[in-house]
Structure 1
Amino acid sequence: MSLTSESLAARPSASATNTLERLIEQLAETAVERDRAGGHAARERELIRASGLLALSIPRELGGQGGEAAELFDAVRRIARVDSALAHVFGFHHLQLYGVRLYAGPAAQQHGTRYLSDTAEQRLFWGNALNPADQRLRARRVDGGWRLEGVKSFCSGAYGSDRLTLSATTADAGFLIGIVPTRREGVTVESDWDAFGQCQTDSGTVRFENVWLADAELLQLPGSVPTPRATLRSQVAQLVMSHLYLGLAEGAFEAARRYTVEQSRPWFAAGVERAADEPILQQRYGDLWLKVRAAQLAAAAAVTRLQQALARGEALSADERGEVAIAGAEAKVLAHRAAIEIGSQLFELTGARSTSGRLGLDRFWRNARVHTLHDPVDYKLRDLGRHRLDGRFPEPTAYS
């Protein structure tokens, strides 16, 4: 089985759809309480593990479910409607698996199928210590491999994981990307994530003390120039985030709509018996829905672009990759805006009683606000403006 192909014909099976729906129901039962409590969602991560959905994006030939990119992003979006923190953990797990498929180092070429088949068979959870903005992790060359020393922050899904993807700088100012078991000697994952949103993403600090990394565990060699196909990993990452934001926007809209229909009282001056019959509220809901709809359409177009690029394999050109980045930037900006604006404006539509802590409606805005700070959306707007002005594509980086 080639790790370079992406089937455009794959469709979710009825059993996979039912499994996802059941998982979402289970997560929704405790989402408000867990968001308030924070910490590690050990039970819920075991529910994800037991569902088999950790193998969603792994080819069937390797024991997985053979889901294409569209199916993965749809799952992230649907989970995020009720629990954006665990949608993040789930999405970033699959992002690491895409890294195994897209990078061209020894770990992918020689052992990629084993990493994926082991993940499917053993239901392994992947986290990351790859944060490219944090360059405190150093790699020192030794016979047959490397020794890692330092720390990485914002390591999504690391706490409670079985495998970690990491990046480290080398003495010649290059950097490498590799894979280590989370419980390898010298690796310590700290549960120190304390943001006011996305409270259960297990995004703590990872410390490395003289940790062994074999050459065979490298996904990207120091000094190597990634191919256009390899740089699609950042586009997978951006679309995971876009669908997380889109799920938050959809979840916030539905929570507000349901509250308005079932519980809201009309303002005395409206002259109607039901809040849902207030013309001003109807207009405002129409405006918010257009924000959701625009983000949905842009996300769907970006996923189509990505799937076409994945299907091209190593024949993918730099310009074709650039088209994926432009479509991804459009989706990211619109989903970002929808999540932030709907998460905030819903209270203007639902009224004072909707601010009750037991409802947890504030979690939509808090989670969106924290996660949308991952990388500056202004640079996406710059990339879009520059492309419309003179046709330039974004330079491939870990964020574009």
Structure 2
Amino acid sequence: MKQCEVYLDHNATTPVDPRVTEAVLPYLGGLFGNPSSGHACGERPRAALRQAREQVAALIAARPGEVVFTGSGSEANLLAIRGAALAGRRHVVTQATEHPAVLETCRALQRLHGVRVTVLPVGPGGRLDPSALAAVAGLDAALVSVMAANNETGVLQPIRELADVARRHGALFHCDAAQAAGKIPLDVGELGVDLLTVVGHKMYAPKGIAALYVRDGVRLEPVVYGGGQERGLRAGTENVALAAGLGAAAVLAAEDLAGGVPARIAALRDELLRRLEAGLPGRVHRNGSAEHCLPNTLNVSINGVLGADVLAAAPGVAASTGSACHSGTHTPSPVLTAMGLPAARALGALRLSLGRWSTPDDIASAADALIAAAG
């Protein structure tokens, strides 16, 4: 298999930053102790876990005690949604372009526990209108779950306004910020959220570590029962090594935000769009709101071709489509379909997501390869 020359799939997963690796390694070696142990071998791991909690909390302006480590973003979402629904009223409200980790959790709650689920539509730009939420949030909802940024289109939701609506109706608000953390500033107080998901492998930490912000006073049913770790919400001996990695990644993300890295990446993304439009005149269409979008994400459709075929003809570019292929038959992206895009346009879509080390040369090479592949 040919190694990709340009990596434009950071929304799927990021490479692990070498500085994060350095933070992880000591806890895979000599500092192996259980952080819950009372003897000397647990002291350094316990201190590392405490520091990681502080570092993640600082990235989202939370208190360290409000950070619960989990094994993935999907698990963090499960803890938030299932935990709120089973601890309170049996009604959850979400929206149509959520990640499957949210939508499938809602469906399981409906199937297994009789929880009522309301899935709201989004507009053509991919955003949820707060007035649409206001129309249903009064129906005795326990929780509203809306992502900060869409993983396919990068579209940003009006979280503050949506959270205000939820609060007025007595519902908790959960925000899946897997794609947003480290790319845009996040302040849980300013957003008004009660629960927020942060995912390690979307921000240059290893896979297998995430965190859920749980506002003090919020009551959730645990996702794992047992020894009482993580505020009693997620039992099991903590993975100190990966927590340390997430903490280090959070520090680096804060430095990127303060140093203007998102603006640099946004300029490269816009240059990529410009080159594609110039090389394929009249054939390139941006999907999702251009005004309300992550700085690193570009979702475009190219007339007359399947996105999957374009990527197959440009093996040096690592990128994604939102469509699925089953036995040679392509199914349009559910996200783009929910936005009202016709099947042909959804099947022609490419998700191009840039990262910390993307360069102008990467953009030029990727644009040339995709233009040639699209014919």
Which interval holds the TM-score relative to the shorter structure?
under 0.3
Higher relative contact order (CA 8 A, sep 6+): 2
| TM-score, structure 1 as length reference | 0.25
| TM-score, structure 2 as length reference | 0.26
